[in-house]
Amino acid sequence: MRVPRSRVEIAPSILAADFACLERGIRLAEGGGARLIHVDVMDGHFVPNLTIGVPVVASLRKATRLALETHLMIANPGDFIESFARAGADRIYVHQEATPHLDRVLHQIQEAGAEPAVAVNPATPVGTLGEVLDLVGAVLVMTVNPGFGGQKFIPHSLDKIRELVAFRERYNRNFGIAVDGGVGPENVGEIVRAGAEILIAGTSVFHTPDASAAVRQLRERGEEALALKV
Ligand code: DX5
Ligand code: ZN
């Protein structure tokens, strides 16, 4: 499946949904008009937390027609690419810091039929990605240290988004720019104005009384912020 792409694409992160009722979380995201679901995979090595793996992605695939993006926060990501692609991941993010063979792993994703994408931790400069920008459909700027939901957005991440926008223009590339961590109604405007399109949000969607309304509100705020931009 092709991953949808518009100027403001909200990707609810099911890490913040109730793990006993993931299907309900998906329905709430669908109700808010989300076209993309973000799935966080953690292994207790690359990040100090454990979450979900291939079988859960396969079950989510059966439960929805929305695009699924998996965010692999795992060591040796190359060992799991085929499994996640077969399970139904449409886009696969691997961390630049998790493999010395980023180019090879991105090609593996492409060959497995998913969209290759790369993520960078807060301390990693986006300038290190220059050699792979023609390979990826999206670059994810981590706006918190990966491993947990509910953390605070790191403000200097906005400069990394602007730098990626400049790269994209200078080299005439077409990758999407994603942000993940601490994204909510209070900062979505400055994030989209900086140039990001894929807004990954967990707490600000699922830890609210009405997750569908939260998705809609994020998208509307983002679109309004762009409309005001002159
Ligand atoms: C954190 C994950 C995020 C997380 C974001 O390592 O990659 O996707 O779900 O959660 P919030 O939106 O709560 O910061
Ligand atoms: Zn994530």
Please, what is the average pLDDT of the chain?
Answer: 97
Of 10, 36, 39, 40, the one to substitute when testing ligand 1's pocket (max ligand atoms within 8 A of C-beta) is 40
What band does 230 get if pLDDT is binned at 50, 70 and 90?
Answer: low
What is the CA 50 to chain-centroid distance, rounded? Answer: 18
Q: Using the predicted structure, report yes or no on whether residue 18 has a pLDDT greater than 90.
A: yes
Q: What are phi and psi of 147, to 5 degrees?
A: 135, -30
64-116 pLDDT tens trace: 999 999 999 999 999 999 999 999 999 999 999 999 999 999 999 999 999 99
13 lines ligand 1 (CB under 6 A): yes
181 lines ligand 1 (CB under 6 A): yes
Predicted local confidence at residue 51, as pLDDT: 97
Overall average pLDDT of the 140-152 stretch: 98
What six digits make up the tokens of 89?
């991941």
128 CB neighbour count, 10 Å cutoff? 13
CA of 46 to the centre of ligand 2 (A): 13
Overall average pLDDT of the 114-142 stretch: 97
What six digits make up the tokens of 47?
């990040």
CA of 178 to the centre of ligand 2 (A): 10
Overall average pLDDT of the 187-209 stretch: 98
Of 69, 154, 180, the one to substitute when testing ligand 1's pocket (max ligand atoms within 8 A of C-beta) is 180
Cα 177 to Cα 173: distance, rounded to the nearest angstrom? 11
CA of 62 to the centre of ligand 2 (A): 21
3-state secondary structure the chain: CCCCCCCCEEEEEHHHCCHHHHHHHHHHHHHCCCCEEEEEEEECCCCCCECCCHHHHHHHHHHCCCEEEEEEECCCHHHCHHHHHHHCCCEEEEEHHHCCCHHHHHHHHHHCCCEEEEEECCCCCHHHHHHHCCCCCEEEEECCCCCCCCCCCCCCHHHHHHHHHHHHHHCCCCCEEEEECCCCCCCHHHHHHHCCCEEEECHHHHCCCCHHHHHHHHHHHHHHHHHHCC
What band does 61 get if pLDDT is binned at 50, 70 and 90?
Answer: very high
**Closest to 64 measured CA to CA, from 109, 95, 25, 112:** 25
Query: Which one-letter amino acid corresponds to residue 96?
Result: Q
Q: Using the predicted structure, report yes or no on whether residue 151 has a pLDDT greater than 70.
A: yes
The structural domains of the chain, ordered by start, are 9-229 (3.20.20.70)
